[in-house]
């Protein structure tokens, strides 16, 4: 089996075989899984890549802005605003993820990327140190 190197490699596998990772295609289950994945990597001392840091720190705010939603809420709830069920939300997530990744490569994201990565790494390091206490 090929080694998973980034959250995006893992997401590609989940997209093609959700039952293997989530039980069934569900945007809320995916959210919980991804939070666990991030925690496990942090716990093992594996740093996020720059793209992963952008996903974890900017996807939800980007989605809020895209949808014109001013109330802070989780990204699964934002995805589900236009979906009839969890399976539709699961499919919609991957459409939005592709759009987000394109946005991240655009000029508008490049200027904020470095600051976000440094801030997130500082937060992760603080969390790691507090877990050692």
- pLDDT at position 108 is 56
Q: What pLDDT is attached to residue 36?
A: 94
pLDDT at 109: 54
SS (H, E, C) the chain: CCCCCCHHHHHHHHHHCHHHHHCCCCHHHHHHHHHHHHHHHHHCCCCCCHHHHHHHHHHHHHHHHHHCCCCCCCHHHHHHCCCCCHHHHHHHHHHHHHHHHHHHHCHHHHHHHHHHHHHHHHHHHHHHHHHHC
State pTM to two decimals: 0.76
pLDDT, one tens digit per residue, over 51-85 is 888 899 999 999 999 999 988 889 999 999 989 99
């Amino acid at each position: 089996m090929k080694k998973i190197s980034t959250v995006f490699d893992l997401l590609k596998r989940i997209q093609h075989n959700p039952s293997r990772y989530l039980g069934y295609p569900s945007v809320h289950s995916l959210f919980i899984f991804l939070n666990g994945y991030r925690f496990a990597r942090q716990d093992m001392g594996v740093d996020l890549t720059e793209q992963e840091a952008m996903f974890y720190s900017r996807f939800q705010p980007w989605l809020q802005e895209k949808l014109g939603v001013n109330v802070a809420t989780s990204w699964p709830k934002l995805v589900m605003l236009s979906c009839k069920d969890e399976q539709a939300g699961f499919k919609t997530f991957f459409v939005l993820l592709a759009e987000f990744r394109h946005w991240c490569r655009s000029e508008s994201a490049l200027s904020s990327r470095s600051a976000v990565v440094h801030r997130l790494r500082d937060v992760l390091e603080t969390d790691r140190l507090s877990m050692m206490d």
